[in-house]
Amino acid sequence: MPSSYTTNIGDGFIQIEHRMGFTIVKSSKSSNILPLFCNLCELSMNSALDRVYHDKYKCCSSCGIKWADLNQDKWTLGWRPDKEEIEDEINRRTSVSVYFSS
């Protein structure tokens, strides 16, 4: 799966071509806004726990629990899992079936 691509489009805005096939335009100025997607796995940030992990580790709660919590010292020094490990985790998370019962 290709990575997302970011382009500076001027006037303080960037354009992100997300790897899932859509485009996001946002301010390039840093803010306290929770991003739509995890900086590591690029899957959607969609829970209050994601806010907690993003504030602490700059990733979603799933990545934080799987990698950052277990490797806090290395994480603080800049360690991140390799791309293959991230892709395997993305495939695992996106292949899980969700069932709703009545």
Q: What is the pLDDT of residues 65-99, one digit of tens each?
A: 999 999 999 999 999 999 999 999 999 998 877 77
Residue 65 DSSP one-character state: I
Q: What is the pLDDT of residue 30?
A: 63
Chain segment 20-74, per-residue pLDDT in tens: 788 888 777 766 778 899 999 999 999 999 999 999 999 999 999 999 999 999 9
Range(s) of the domain holding residue 6: 1-31
Q: Are residues 20 and 9 in the same domain?
A: yes
Q: Are residues 89 and 50 in the same domain?
A: yes
Which residue is associated with the tokens 């990733």? 59
Q: How many separate domains does the chain show?
A: 2
Say if 54 falls within a structural domain.
Answer: yes
Give the predicted TM-score (pTM) of the model. 0.66
Q: Are residues 44 and 65 in the same domain?
A: yes
Asked if 16 and 4 count as a contact pair (C-beta separation under 8 A), the reply is yes
Which residue is associated with the tokens 């489009």? 9
